[in-house]
């Protein structure tokens, strides 16, 4: 694979050295690595490793500079065939995020600090997966940035033990006779957060106690930042502080050093007197690796890296006296010092090697590329959701290890709640919590936090196109409906009429998915089956007689699809005369229609209108020897449950709407105006439905039942 890392500059620093360590490990494992930065002293070393470097000014914080970098970065990603972008700082992360949205490739981030939760920093939590080097920083991202825990991955930094070789420490006496003064090191850039002032005060206390010690300050000035004291001015202030404390002769200013292992080998103890929580503590591990004991503030990740009294010593932050006492403790206790050195090195070898960091990061890269997070859209009516089940099955087969979520409307949630092809069902409720533009925006924000890689839009509405775009999903596949710019892979709508399942095939092909047959599926529970069995038992159903289901209702909006109630009543009586038992189904809103049929019939069928939930209705349909319905959702339930069905069609085209099933008999009478797809009959005659007779429907039911010979009796309770 080809990995592109983004960093502001490649100067000497912990983050930059981590970039080189990762590049070295990935290249040694046969992968390609490129780095984008504004340049720096480590570029030459990076290129010696075999990586490529591209100089783009991704260190400039102005919005205009970031936007200018996006086209160049986008072109680089496409031409170099980058598989994944890994951003390691906020400014380049903005350009990387926008470029990944254009190219549709995975975007990852690594957070290296406790960023203030302002808008400019939030991009660091927009990665498909967010890497944090410590549990402390991970908890901070969850609490302050509301990062979902499932998108967080803790990967500690590692130490290259081939560079940081262990050396056996020389014995020291407390007064330093014969070996010179104790050399105490503080390693890190000159910032107020690193606690250099605290170290100087601790040095003064050691001198006041008669302990000869030298403080070695190793690190250069960081790039200038607004509202912060520049590194040069901070050094002047620290020099003045050392003079005022009378320890200026005992301070060595070594500046930025590229030979950190050699620096460490010349020290007796390393201080990490940070006054702000550290995200990790690389200098701690490097010191432990070469055999130098560490004293650090009990802040942030330092308390994770150091086991107090075993691999190092922890002291309260901003407490020079505690640091001085800890140094004296190491001087006076050779056994403790030897324990810290031995156990520190052992813990680095067990948990914090660069090979382990590279392996964990590489596994995450592989997961992003082979196990994407996929969001499928199907917000509409029940029948359309059932028709999408072959696509759900095909997508799962194409991405067996992926996290797949299905976005549906609340009324159809029960139909897919037990779907084995998805990991999660996301409910969109425009009538309540997701109502209006603000509700839709909040819904998109929830999806954004989930970090989806791909959107497969089986709904294909302008709303779902917009929601996927607002959710920041890089790859968005759907049919082009005038808002195609919101899709990264727009697919032309098929011009020729297609069956409802095959209509999804061109879209799936654009997503790299092959349709896995057309069989529909539903997944009722055992409880649903038991409820239906009890319903039929209470109704006095005779298991030896065939049961026929009729569904006279449908969408209130589509009155043109309806068959007259008198004809439904006549059908019920005709079926009863032939020895069949009839059950009338429908939603609670159609209770009046069920009562009307009772008044119009002589046979008095079983009226189950409003008495079944969605999946209970599916179980009831499965117990029927035949089912009669209009062009409505129960027709799709019958197809999914394998029940022979008679479908009455009028204003719509059966070629486009009949679900795939072996035993569906379509009754349709073509008139000059059909299919009109109108909710109001323009001729007022409603001829397309009136020309379907009771006799034809009865004969169709009889024909469907002949092969079965009533071999599907109702199961008793």
Is the same domain home to 571 and 672? yes
Residue 307, helix vs strand vs coil: coil
What is the DSSP secondary-structure string of 343-362?
Answer: HHHHHHHHH-BHHHHHHHHH
Residue 256 confidence (pLDDT)? 78
* Of 88 and 682, the one with more pLDDT: 88
328 and 382 inside one domain: no
pLDDT higher than 90, residue 166: no
Q: What is the mean pLDDT of the chain?
A: 88
| Least reliable range by pLDDT among 55-59, 228-232, 329-333 | 228-232
User: Which of 1-5, 27-31, 343-347, 379-383 is the least confident region?
Assistant: 379-383
What does the pLDDT read at residue 709? 42
Q: In terms of domains, do 339 and 381 share one?
A: no
Average pLDDT score over residue span 502-524: 90
The contacts of residue 538 (CB under 8 Å, 6+ apart) are none
Q: Residues 687-712: what's their mean pLDDT?
A: 78
Q: Write the CA distances from 241 to 187, 279, 391, integer angstroms.
A: 18, 28, 70
Mean pLDDT, residues 257-279:
87
pLDDT grade for 377, boundaries at 50, 70 and 90:
very high
Mean pLDDT of 633-642: 93
SS3 331: helix
Question: Both ends of the chain: CA-CA distance in Å?
Answer: 59
Here the tokens at position 26 are 């990935």
% the chain with pLDDT above 70: 95
| Boundary (domain end) residue, out of 510, 542, 570 | 510
For residue 429, what is the domain's CATH number? 3.40.50.2000
Phi, psi of 488 (to 5 degrees): -85, -25
Q: Is residue 588 part of a domain?
A: yes
> Taking residues 535-558, what's their average pLDDT?
88
CA-CA distance, 81 to 72, in Å (whole number)? 14
Residue 145's SS3 state is: helix
For residue 408, give the 3-state DSSP assignment.
strand
Query: Does some domain include residue 264?
Result: yes
- The pLDDT value recorded for residue 172 is 58
Range of the domain at 476: 371-510
Residue 135 lies in a domain: yes
- Identify whether 470 is part of a domain: yes
pLDDT band of residue 715 (cuts 50, 70, 90) is: very low
- Domain co-membership, 146 together with 94: yes
Q: Strand, coil or helix: what is 376?
A: strand
Q: How confident is the model at residue 97 (pLDDT cuts 50, 70, 90)?
A: very high
153-157, long-range: CB < 8 A, 24+ apart? 153/129, 153/364, 155/131, 155/357, 155/360, 155/361, 155/364, 156/280, 156/351, 156/352, 156/357, 157/14, 157/18, 157/21, 157/133, 157/280, 157/282, 157/285, 157/352, 157/357
Average pLDDT over residues 661-688: 81
Of residues 9 and 671, the one with the higher pLDDT is 9
E strand map for 410-481: 424-428, 454-457, 475-479
The dihedrals phi and psi of 672, each to the nearest 5 degrees, come to -60, -25
Considering the domain architecture, whether residues 622 and 685 belong to the same structural domain is answered as yes
Is residue 521 in a domain?
no
**Angle between helical axes of 196-208 and 320-332 (0-180°, round to 10):** 60
Band of residue 536 on the pLDDT scale cut at 50, 70, 90: very high
Q: How far is the C-alpha of 262 from the C-alpha of 162, rounded, in Å?
A: 13
Looking at the fold, whether 326 and 420 belong to one and the same domain comes out as: no
Indicate whether 227 and 316 sit together in one domain: yes
Tokens encoding 589? 């809103």
Residue 44 has which token pair? 């030459």
Q: Give pTM, 2 decimals.
A: 0.77
What integer pLDDT is reported at residue 324 of this predicted model?
94
Which position has the higher pLDDT, 194 or 391? 391
What average pLDDT does the segment 245-253 reach? 92
Q: What confidence tier does 353 reach under pLDDT thresholds 50, 70, 90?
A: very high
Q: Which of 10-14, 53-57, 154-158, 343-347 has the lowest mean pLDDT?
A: 10-14
pLDDT digits (tens, 9 = 90+) for 429-485: 998 888 899 999 999 999 988 889 899 999 988 899 999 999 988 889 999 876 567
Indicate if the pLDDT at residue 290 is higher than 80: yes
Q: What is the pLDDT of residue 263?
A: 86
Number of domains, the chain? 4
DSSP, residue by residue, 121-137 = GGGGG-SSSEEESSHHH
Section 537-547 average pLDDT: 90
**pLDDT tens string 172-231:** 555 544 467 889 999 888 888 889 999 999 999 999 999 889 999 988 766 555 445 555
Average of pLDDT values for 610-631? 93
Q: Residue 175: inside a domain, yes or no?
A: no
Alpha-carbon dihedral 469, 473, 474, 479, rounded to 10 degrees: -60
Q: Within a domain: residue 160?
A: no
Model confidence at 712: pLDDT above 50: no
In this prediction, residues 54-61 reach a mean pLDDT of 92
Q: Tell me the C-alpha to C-alpha distance, in Å, between residue 601 and each of 571, 611, 695.
A: 9, 20, 16
**Cβ–Cβ under 8 Å, residues 336 and 353:** no
pLDDT level of residue 171 (50, 70, 90 thresholds): low
What is residue 317's predicted lDDT score, i.e. its pLDDT? 93
- Span 620-648, average pLDDT: 93
Burial letters 458-487, b for 16+ CB under 10 A, else e: bbbbeebbebbbbbbbbbbbbbbbebeebb
H/E stretch holding 648? strand 645-649
Query: pLDDT value at position 178?
Result: 45
Q: Are 612 and 697 members of one domain?
A: yes
Q: 131 φ, ψ to 5°? A: -95, 135
**333 and 242 inside one domain:** yes
SS3 state of residue 575: helix
Which of 212-221, 252-261, 266-275 bottoms out in mean pLDDT, i.e. has the lowest?
Answer: 252-261
Spatial separation of the C-alpha atoms in residues 366 and 361, rounded to whole Å:
9
Q: Is 555 found in the same domain as 421?
A: no
Residue 396 shares a structural domain with residue 545:
no
- Residue 36: inside a domain, yes or no? yes
pLDDT at 1 > cutoff 50: yes
Across residues 483-496, what is the average pLDDT? Answer: 81
Domain check: are 506 and 530 in the same one? no
**Helix/strand/coil (H, E, C) string of 166-197?**
CCCCCCCCCCCCCCCCEEEEEECCCCHHHCHH
């Amino acid at each position: 694979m080809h990995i592109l890392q983004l960093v502001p500059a490649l100067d000497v620093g912990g983050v930059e050295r981590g970039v080189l360590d990762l590049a070295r490990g990935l290249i040694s494992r046969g992968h390609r690595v490129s780095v984008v930065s504004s340049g720096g002293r480590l570029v030459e070393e990076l290129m010696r490793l075999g990586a490529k470097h591209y100089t783009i000014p991704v260190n400039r914080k102005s919005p205009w500079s970031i936007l200018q970098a996006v086209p160049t970065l986008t072109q680089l990603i496409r031409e170099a065939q980058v598989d994944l972008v890994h951003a390691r700082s906020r400014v380049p992360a903005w350009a990387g995020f926008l470029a990944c949205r254009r190219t549709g490739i995975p975007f990852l981030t690594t957070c290296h600090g406790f960023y203030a939760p302002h808008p400019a920093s939030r991009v660091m939590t927009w990665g498909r997966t967010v890497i944090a080097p410590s549990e402390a920083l991970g908890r901070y991202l969850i609490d302050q940035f509301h990062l979902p825990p499932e998108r967080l991955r803790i990967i500690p930094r590692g130490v290259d033990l081939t560079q940081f070789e262990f050396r056996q420490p020389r014995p020291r006496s407390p007064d330093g006779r014969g070996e010179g003064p104790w050399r105490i090191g503080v390693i890190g850039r000159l910032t107020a957060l690193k606690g250099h002032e605290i170290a100087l005060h601790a040095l003064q206390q050691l001198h006041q106690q008669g302990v000869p010690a030298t403080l070695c300050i190793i690190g250069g000035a960081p790039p200038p930042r607004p509202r912060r004291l520049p590194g040069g001015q901070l050094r002047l202030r620290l020099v003045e502080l050392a003079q005022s404390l009378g320890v200026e002769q005992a301070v060595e200013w070594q500046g930025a050093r590229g030979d950190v292992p050699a620096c460490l080998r010349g020290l007796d103890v390393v201080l990490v007197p940070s006054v702000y929580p550290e995200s990790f503590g690389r200098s701690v591990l490097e010191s432990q690796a070469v055999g130098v004991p560490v004293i650090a503030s009990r802040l942030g990740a330092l308390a994770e890296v150091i086991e107090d009294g075993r691999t190092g010593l922890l002291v309260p932050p901003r407490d020079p006296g505690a640091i001085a006492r800890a140094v004296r403790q190491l001087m006076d206790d050779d056994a403790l010092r030897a324990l810290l050195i031995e156990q520190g090195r052992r813990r680095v070898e067990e948990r914090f090697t660069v090979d382990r960091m590279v392996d964990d990061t590489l596994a995450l890269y592989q997961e992003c590329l082979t196990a994407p997070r996929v969001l499928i859209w199907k917000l509409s009516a029940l029948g359309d959701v059932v028709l999408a089940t072959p696509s759900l099955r095909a997508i799962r087969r194409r991405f067996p290890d992926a996290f797949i979520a299905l976005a549906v409307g609340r009324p159809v949630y029960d139909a897919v709640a037990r779907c084995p092809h998805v990991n999660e069902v996301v409910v969109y409720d425009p009538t309540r919590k997701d109502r209006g533009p603000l509700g839709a925006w909040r819904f998109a924000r929830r999806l954004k936090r989930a970090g989806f890689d791909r959107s497969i839009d089986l709904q294909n509405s302008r709303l779902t196109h917009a929601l996927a775009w607002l959710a920041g999903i890089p790859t968005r596949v759907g049919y082009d409906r005038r808002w195609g710019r919101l899709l990264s892979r727009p697919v032309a709508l098929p011009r020729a009429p297609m069956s409802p399942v095959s209509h999804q095939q061109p879209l799936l092909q654009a997503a790299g998915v092959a349709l896995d047959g057309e069989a529909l599926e539903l997944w009722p529970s055992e409880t649903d089956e038991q409820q239906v069995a009890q319903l039929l038992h209470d109704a006095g159903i005779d298991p030896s007689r065939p049961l026929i289901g009729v569904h006279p209702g449908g969408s209130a909006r589509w009155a043109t699809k309806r068959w007259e109630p008198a004809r439904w009543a006549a059908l019920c009586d005709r079926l009863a005369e032939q020895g069949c038992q009839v059950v009338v189904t429908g939603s609670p809103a159609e209770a009046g229609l069920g009562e009307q049929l009772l008044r119009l019939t002589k046979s008095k069928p079983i009226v189950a209108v409003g008495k079944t939930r969605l999946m209970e209705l599916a179980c009831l349909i499965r117990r029927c020897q035949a089912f009669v319905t209009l062009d409505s959702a129960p027709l799709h339930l019958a197809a999914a449950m394998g029940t022979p069905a008679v479908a009455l069609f009028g204003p719509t085209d059966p070629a486009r709407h009949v679900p795939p099933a072996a035993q569906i008999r379509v009754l349709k009478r073509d008139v000059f105006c059909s299919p009109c797809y109108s909710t109001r009959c323009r001729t007022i005659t409603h001829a397309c439905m009136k020309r379907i007779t009771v006799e034809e429907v009865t004969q169709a039911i009889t024909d469907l039942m002949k092969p079965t010979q009533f071999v599907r009796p109702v199961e008793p309770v």
